[in-house]
Structure 1
Amino acid sequence: MKYIVDVEWLKDNLNKSEIRIVDCRFSLRDPLAGELAYKKEHIPGAVYFDLEKDLSATPTVHGGRHPLPSIQSIKEKLELSGIDERVKIVVYDDGTGEYASRFWWLLNYLNEF
């Protein structure tokens, strides 16, 4: 698959300046678990993106449990993390990929603007 890399590829490319690694671990049962796991251990050089703090806006009356973040807020978080159109991004979570997929989808959504 075009968008999937294996552990060996990551190991060989881990220290390249054009690679950014994003940890998106999260648990709906325990919203602090992902960040705590990141602080305890993560892939070297990875930055953490939290589902509720970074990949979503604050819920309101309408918009669901995890509405889309504003373009400005996600753009600022990406910039602070050294992510721009020149880097390749490796994103992971520790579940079935739903949080990493949300990050990937948001990047594609931002490309529309």
Structure 2
Amino acid sequence: MSSGRCGRWRDHRQVINGVSHRVRTGVRRRELPERFGPWKTVYKRHLQWSADGTWERLLQEVQAVADAEGAIDWDASGASTSEGRTRKAADSMYDATASAPDGPRTAQGD
């Protein structure tokens, strides 16, 4: 069965690193550093692998290996999530302003 493409595939590791870089940094696809290869290749492969389930299979495989090595704590608390940290920081900030000596700060004219 033909994939409908000509030539050789760019190294998958380079493309995976490019996708990972985009996800971590939020950089626009056209601003991807050249070390990850052509931005269009990274974009198209990411799109294709998302649609055909490749990313999900890779995640399951990596998790299975890590689990077999005992490297995953499946009982870890969700309290360390980004949302939890954000909420805790917001709560502590509110507590600090509410207990300030002159009360909570308001905009001028209030």
TM-score bracket relative to the smaller structure: under 0.3
Decide which structure has greater helix share.
2
Q: Max radius of gyration: which structure?
A: 2
Decide which structure has greater strand share.
1
The TM-score with structure 1 as length reference comes to 0.23
Of structures 1 and 2, the one scoring higher in RCO (CA 8 A, sep 6+) is 1
The TM-score with structure 2 as length reference comes to 0.23
